[in-house]
Every structure is written in structure tokens, then in C-alpha cells.
Amino acid sequence: MAMAEKLKHPLAGTKMRGADMIIQIMADEEVDTIFGYSGGAILPTYDGIFQWNARNPKQRINLIVPANEQGAGFMAAGYSRVTGKVGVSLVTSGPGATNSVTPIRDAMADSIPMVLVCGQVARVAVGTDAFQEAPVFNIMSACAKHVFLVKDETELEATVRTAFYLARSGRPGPVVIDVPKDVQNWEGVFQGEGLLPLRGYQQRLDNMSEARISKDKAREFFDLLKASKRPLIYAGGGVINSNASAELRKFAHDYQIPVVTTLMGIGAIDTRDELALHMLGMHGMAYANYAVDDCDFVFAVGARFDDRVCAVPSQWAKRAKVAHIDIDRAEIGKVKKVDWAHVGDVKLSLQDLLAAGKSVKLDTVAWLKHVQEMKARHHLNYNRDSEIIQPQAVLDLVNEITKGDAIVTTGVGQHQMFAAQHFDFKDPRTFLTSGSMGTMGYGLPSAIGAQVGAPGKLVIDVDGDGSIRMNLGEMETCTTYDLPVKILLLNNLGDGMVVQWQTLYYQSRYSGTDKSLHAKDFVKSAEADGFKFAKRVSKQEDLKKTIEEWLAFKGPAFLEVMVDKNAFVYPMVGPGMAYKDMITGPYIEARDKAPEEIRLDTSSAF
């Protein structure tokens, strides 16, 4: 009995408003920052933040107010991805909620844990087309991991607590709570505990936690691995979500297996590691894609074989047996047929395999020699003789200074792929981008969220002139909260990635992509938003010195670099194409074709 009393919430039995219950549970969930924009239907909960901070000065909840609710959602996502915690966004009804649809779908597609709390009109007005009413439940149900509409005020407390549990458990994702204004104003007794019943979901979670890899199943895995001569690890975002980077790196080094990563898996292994082949896929490294073509065993870890990686499943790693670990059963065999699979947490699964395979020895010396030769021969390259600044050169210079220690966010487009290719990343949770949804405008607000989540780190938003326009209002958010985000705008006066496709596949018909006639002066915009460092570079000789000044500046800093509009992203595997059809462009050496038989030179050690 004494133990039960000890564990009881100190405020259990206290009468409080629904809005105060929401904030109390957020505090219990260790929420230290909320990103959101106020409005009529959510005012009680915003008042709850004010009152919480007045009562708890040592456990204040920071409130970051964006220019737009979409920005709030992406800030919450950036915060979540850097910290590993659940990001929180708080918006009003109607347009506040609908402006949040894109970040919710984006978080769902990339498995980012978030909770979005939306105000809603009072219950008596729901369904009457009341002022700022929107059918949030209907809209968000197709976009989120789960959506709650709180109809019974007595279930509010359990609903909010359950939302956090759902967001972080299993395969992470965003959960939406639609809270009518009268439920926020309702007064009731705070219980201090309790979740909504989740029988089916909880049973699946319990089964998953119990589904450890048995000795027999591990033996089957290692039989496949030992039979291979050219094994390859294919790591995705699930490695990072599961905090399994240490286990992945140990596995790769214990068995000396090279690693390719998805866009979302960047940072799972240090990109400077001799076993790292960096990113594969549509704009992956040529040697990474060649390694997929050449391997005879693929170990897919927390990756889902999406179309940007595996557009032609029958041709992808066609020489290889495939083993797959993922937390989501739906991903197993969905795209690529597998020879061995396990549904479970990546971290625990790798720990089980490492424990079971302590005595396993592989001879991958010749394969690693082959891989290293491909890395040397088919490395990234670009036009180094042009008088026009090349975007790749800009990122190489930044990378020389940051040395893999920066947190890098991006918008979407060519600059996104250039950043993925040309930056080094020592650690997980340091490359933030919109992967599956490919949402332009993601870079700047996610950088703000990342900076809030990692206040002592260097955070760089690599953006494009098209992408940054989408959430340009968030530049003011940087200065409002004195967040030292470094914005790097690579301006090619156009929507570069679409231009690239129009050039290659639409006979250079540039419909809707030319920005050269736009009058936007981004430097003046930055200055108007309070940036004390706002510069533009258009000459090669000014580039290095200005980059050094920009990175060294203590506060928010904006740098625009005018770059070559004809600098395309290579390698490129066209839509619906196999890796054998990869275009390496004019500066990256290609091999004629994948050899019919892989002969490995065993004469010298790696």
C-alpha cells in the first residue's frame, strides 16, 4: 500500500480545467517545448501554458510561435528527429488544423513521433459549419498514425496520455487530438494515470517485444550470411528511430560488411567509415548502387525498399539472398521477396544476432577490396573548371569546416540531394530532410526545431530558392527567438530538380520552373527579418572567406550563393529504371555494364 501511495501522481484528485490537464500531461511526458499558433478554439490551452509557466518557473514549457502552422509542424518534427522525443504542435481549429495536414502526413511518411493538438469548435456547434470549423478527424485520419476527437470530456486526460504512447511506440508516427473548446474549459478531477484501452494495438506491441530472435532463427540467418561472398548491409531510417546505430556499426565491423544507407538512414554509420558506401538509390553514390548490383547477400535493417531505392524489384540485387528486419510487419515482402525475415525492434534484433553470432567468422577481404576500388573509381565529381559557382563546391567547402559535426536540414530539390551526397555525418539524428513526402519548405522550420532541441549544436539549413519561399516567413522566427540557425541558400533561379527532369524527359520544355524574372531579394528579406549577417556571393574568389564568416557568426546568419542553373544532380537512376540504367553524367566515371560474373581478386588483403 505504501508503494502504491508513493507512485501516485502528486496532483491526483485535484480539480482542474481540461486545458490544464493537457498541459499537465505534457509536462509529465517531459515536453519542454511546444510549437504552435494560437486562435479562438485553442485559447484555453494557450492560457494553460501561461499559467503553467507562472506556477512552475523551474519547469517552464517554451512556446515557439511560427509564422504559419505548417512551420510549427515541421519545427516539431525537426525537434523530434534531433532529440528522439515526441515533438508537439498546438494549433487552433479550421485553418490552423488544415495548415497542419502537410507536416502530419510528412511525419507519418518518415515515421516521426509527434503529437498535434488542435482546438475545435464547441461540441454543440460541430457539424454546423461554425466559424473556423473543419472536419479534422476525417481529414487527418488518412494522414496520421491515429486521430482522436474528444467527445467525452472525462476521457480527455487518458486520450492525451495515450496519444504520446501511440506516437512513440511501435513504428513511430504522428497522433492528432481534436479537442472542442468546451472540453478545454470543462472542469474535472485529474486522475494522474490511465490510458485508453488499446487491446489490438497493445497485443501487437507485446508480441513484438516478445519476438526476440531465437537461436534457431539466428542460425538460419548466419547460414545465409556464411554462404555469401559479397554481403551488403542496407540500412534505413528504422536504425535511427530505434537508436540502433551503435549495434549496426558493431555488426558491420564484427563481420566486415560494407553498408549502404537510404536517405533517411544517413548517419546510421559514420560516412567517413571505411565500410560506409553512403547513400544508394535514385541519386545515391554510383559505387553504392554498383555494390547492390554485385552483392550476393543483402541484410536490410529498418529499410522499406521504397521506389527511390528499388524501382524495379526483380532487378534490384538480383544475385542476392535477402534478409530483412523491420518493426512493421507490413514492410516484409511488400516490395522485395525475402529469404529470411524478423519483425521486431531493430536494436533488440541486432543485439540478438550479435550475441548469437559471436563465433561466426567471415572472409570478406576480397569483396571489401572490390568495393574500395569502386569507391576510388566511381566517386562523386562535378565541373571543377567552370567560372560559375557549382553548388557541390559550396557544400564541399562547408563540409571541410564542419567536418561531419553539424546538424544539416534541407528543403527539397537538387540542393537536398547535393547535401545528402557532399556532407559527412558522424552521428545519427544529424541529417534532417523530408524523405518520403518530399515537402518543399521543410528545411528552415525543421532547422528551427532542431536548434531548439540541440541548442549547443551548429545547425545549417541548406535550401533552394524555390523551397525556401514556401516557408520564408520562418526567417523571422529565427531572429524572434535568437536562434543561431545558419541558412545557406543555393540560388539557381529556378526549380532545379524539376528543370533537370524537364531537360532529360520533356525535351527542355521548362513549364513553370523559371524563377529568373522573380524580383525577390533574399538578402533584403533576411535583413528585414532582423538578420545581422545577410550576404550574397556570386564570385568564386569571395566564396571561402564569406562561408567562414557566415559559419563563425554568433547569431542567426543568412548566406545566399548564386550557383550554376545547369549543375545537375548525378548519379541519377531514372524513374522506373534499374541501377544498370544509372546515368552518371559527364564527370563521374561509369562502368560499361554490370559483369555477368563477379570475380574477386583474392591476391591481396584489404
Catalytic residues: 69, 131-132, 181, 497
The neighbouring-strand residues paired with 188 are: 16
* Residue 397: all three cell numbers together: 567547402
CA–CA separation, 396 and 246 (whole Å): 27
| 37 within 8 A of 72, measured Cβ to Cβ | yes
**Secondary structure string (H, E, C) spanning 499-519:** HHHHHHHCCCCCCCCECCCCC
Q: Amino acid identity, residue 205? A: L
**CB-based contact 502:508 (threshold 8 Å):** yes
Residues in the chain: 606
Q: CA-to-CA distance for 166 and 24, rounded, in angstroms? A: 18
Cell of 53: 509557466
Handedness of CA 338, 339, 345, 348 (dihedral sign): negative
Cell numbers given for 143: 494522414
CA distance 57 to 328: 41
DSSP 8-state code for residue 572? B
Query: Could you tell me whether strands 187-189 and 15-17 are parallel, antiparallel, or unpaired per DSSP bridges?
Result: antiparallel
DSSP state of 588: S
First CA to last CA across the chain, in angstroms?
64
> Could you say which DSSP state residue 74 is in?
H
Q: How far apart are CA 76 and CA 106, in angstroms?
A: 12
Neighbours of 575 (CB within 10 A): 11
